[in-house]
Chain A
Amino acid sequence: MSAAGVTHTKHRISWRKFLSRTLGHVIVFSVGLFFLIPTLWMSFTAFKSRTDVFRFPPTLLPYDVKEVTINGERYPLYRVPIDGQMREFARLKVEEGNGTYVNPQSPDEVVEMRARLTEPVIAIKFHWNNFSDAMNRSTRPGLTVNFWTYLKNSTIVAALTIFGTLVSCVPVAYGFSHIEWPGRDAVFVLVLSTMMLPFQVTMIPLYLFFTSTLGWGDTFLPLVVPSLFASPFEIFLLRQFFLTIPKDLIDAARVDGASDLRILLQLIVPLSKPILTAITIFTFLWAWNDFLGPLLYLNNPEHFTLAIGLQDFQGQRNTAWNQLMAASVVFTAPIILAFFFAQRTFIEGIKLTGTKG
């Protein structure tokens, strides 16, 4: 975009530049709305009341009927046409379509009117209690299961998976980078090619193996134990990073008589903090979001993770959208937090994914 060497048409250039820049802003902003609005919609629905969720036309922000206190009791506020004027009165009761309205300023002024002639006064109101309601809601009678249970289970599964991945992938990646052994590169190609294998091909025998043979059905073990055996994508990422560590450094340590295990733990691991952070985050994301795994192996709601527990909010007839969105926000929040704390790591990691192509 630099305009070097075209100074003689400076005026025209800057005018055109202004136009194209404005156009750019308009396009980037409009497309941005497509990404932004659903995100906001989720966040704000989480704060809406049950009736507000179904308000038509819908509003982005949470609105609710304004309330006033008269003689210690709370009443909803309505717009009432009196003598051709719209005035804000509190509604005391509705009987057979007839409402009784009272002026909040002077409680002696009472009018009766068809309720459909009046309309509620609405104001922005955030229902924070949706979150506690969603978390404490127990949809399964006879079981003390609520969203906290799922949150706890998701955390346990994610933490164990991260541990397993780090413990297994670090030595494997070392074996593929700083130890020279015949056949290494051929084996590494095999590692990469296993990424092509669809999950469905191994799903059924693995399911039978874990549940029938090992008796691990309805436990976290089938979800967590495989991570102890190094997955190809993480091996690849780590190996690429390890290869950037100068060979001379490692040779020097070897000459000094350091064992490979020591080189790995005391030299390479401390130098690899960025990639280890990235892998921690990716594994967390993966474990936190995993749907099919828990769906296959977990039967008892006491063992459910958030990903499958979220379905609790789908009722037979009506769905508690506000609570569902509140739960979704809780589900998403740790990831958003991780993103803002480690934005650079996130982006770098994703770029690494692409550059192997």
Chain B
Amino acid sequence: MEARRMVTPVPRAARRRRWSPQVRRSFIKGILFISPWILGFLFFNLYPMTKSFAMSFAEWHLRIPSEWIGLANYANLLHDRRFWTSLYNTVYMVLFAVPLTVFSAFVFAVLLNLKLRGRSVYRVIYYLPSIVPVVASSMLWMWIFNTNNGILNVFLGYLGIKGPSWLTDPAWSKPALILMGLWGIGNTVIIYLSGIQDVPVSLLEAAEIDGATWLQRLWHITVPMVSSITLFNLIIGVIDMFQYFTQAYIFAAVQAGTTAQQLGSPLDSTLFYSVYLYNRFQTLKLGYAAAMAWILFVIILICSLLLLRASKRWTYYESEGT
């Protein structure tokens, strides 16, 4: 917010016509300093974006000339069962995993904010799993999910529950991935925790004097005060979930027993959007994969915008209130 004020306002009429030598010099200087980003933007964003857009209208070959086929890639996607499966699997995760993760992160942050002895130790324990590399944590959880020897089913066995075949049952593979995701939730918890700590103590104390219970204070003060963080976590969660890849890739690789010959196993239940896209890329259906990428981009944009728009009803920014 500060930055906006720091730029000397250039009168609208003068902007295009002529810059004083001083303004021109500072413009050149600014451009020079940000030139690494400009080059990066051109080479690693703009160029590949336009190219993949173009590719999505072509049967793209590596060595022989590519043919333009118009909307055929997009039309074929409509009839591709695996495409719809991958979209379904991904939407499943977005609808279930993202809200569950954000909700749990909030609850865990509230727990970690309780004034308990050993609180800092708990914070470290809750946070540490999130810095375990995704590849390592996925391998670890495949071992935990092992039907016979995994600790999860052994633990469930103690409770008298017969644990499912997490790895081989298509009905349980996605819940397994969600559970694994909850384990690495630390970053989101920390973001919430910092938001909860910023809630003015005076507000909470005033409510307490007025006789509000702990739960009432949580629901009527803390939840609205961190609503902007909730929005941020939801948007980031949705964007990340649409690109969900590594965990599913490793899951399938362990499943199939070989190095990812069977993406999406068991029975395509972990064939997520990005996994299928990677599979199309691997099999050199480049135009097809590019079309998928662009659809993904549009879906992500629409979801983010919808969330932003809907959030106007339930988010609260401190600056608005005063």
A positions within 8 Å CB-CB of B:
1-2, 4-5, 20-21, 24-25, 27-29, 31-32, 34-39, 41-42, 45, 53-54, 56-58, 168-169, 171-172, 174-177, 179-185, 187-188, 190-191, 194, 196-209, 212, 226, 228-231, 235, 239, 243, 247, 260, 285, 288-289, 291-292, 295, 306-308, 310-311, 313-317, 319, 321, 324-325, 328, 331-332, 335-336, 339, 343, 347, 350-351, 353-357
Contacts and interface: CB of A to CB of B under 8 A. Distances in A.
B218 interface: no
Interface string B275-313: 001000100001001101110110011001000000000
A90 to B, nearest CB: 28
Contact of B37 (A198, A207, A229): A229
Interface of B: 2-4, 6-8, 10, 15, 19, 23, 26-27, 29-34, 36-37, 39-41, 43-45, 47-49, 51-52, 55, 62, 108, 111-112, 114-117, 122, 124-126, 128-129, 131-136, 139-141, 143-144, 148-149, 151, 154, 182-183, 187, 190-192, 194-195, 205, 208-209, 214, 228-229, 231-233, 235, 239, 242-243, 245-246, 249-250, 253-254, 257-259, 274, 277, 281, 286, 289-290, 292-294, 296-297, 300-301, 304
B297 A197 contact: yes
A356 B30 contact: no
5 contacts: A175-B30, A206-B44, A289-B135, A316-B257, A354-B191
Nearest to A21: B116
Nearest to A29: B122
Contacts of B243: 198-200
A79 to B, nearest CB: 23
B258 to A, nearest CB: 6
A249 to B, nearest CB: 14
B149 A58 contact: yes
A182 B301 CA distance: 29
A337 B142 CA distance: 25
Contacts of A313: 139
Contacts of B55: 204-205
Contacts of B8: 180
Contacts of B205: 2, 4
Given A194-B41, A198-B239, A319-B254, 5 more contacts: A32-B126, A54-B149, A198-B297, A230-B34, A354-B191
B190 A351 contact: yes
Contact of A38 (B4, B62, B129, B293): B129
B37 A339 contact: no
A324 B292 CA distance: 35
A240 to B, nearest CB: 9
Given A314-B253, A321-B143, A331-B133, A38 B183 contact: yes
> For A175, A200, A314, A347, which residue has the most chain B Cβ atoms within 10 angstroms?
A200
A27 B111 contact: yes
B52 A36 contact: no
A289 to B, nearest CB: 4
Contacts of B148: 56
A185 B7 contact: yes
Contact of B49 (A2, A179, A184, A202): A202
Contacts of B27: 181-183
Contacts of A357: 228-229, 231-233, 235
Contacts of B254: 314, 319
A339 B125 CA distance: 12
A39 B132 contact: yes
Nearest to A32: B125
Contact of B154 (A57, A175, A319): A57
Nearest to A167: B36
A27 B122 CA distance: 11
> For A20, A184, A354, which residue has the most chain B Cβ atoms within 10 angstroms?
A354
A353 B191 contact: yes
B297 A5 contact: no
B1 to A, nearest CB: 10
A41 B122 CA distance: 18
A172 B36 contact: yes
Contacts of B195: 354
Contact of A179 (B33, B122, B245): B33
Contact of B133 (A24, A335, A354): A335
Contacts of A172: 33-34, 36-37
A296 to B, nearest CB: 9
Given A37-B151, A181-B27, A356-B232, A292 B133 contact: no
A41 B144 contact: yes
A176 B34 contact: yes
B296 A314 contact: no
Contacts of B3: 176-177, 185, 188, 239, 243
Given A182-B27, A200-B293, A204-B289, A171 B281 contact: no
Nearest to B14: A182
Contacts of B62: 208, 212
A158 B170 CA distance: 37
B139 A202 contact: no
B296 A201 contact: yes
A328 B140 contact: yes
A335 B131 contact: yes
A198 B43 contact: no
Contacts of A247: 6
A156 B235 CA distance: 34
A187 B7 CA distance: 13
B151 A41 contact: yes
A306 B228 CA distance: 37
Contacts of B4: 185
B187 A28 contact: no
A36 to B, nearest CB: 5
Contacts of A353: 187, 191
Nearest to A181: B30
A194 B140 contact: no
Contacts of A325: 139-140, 143
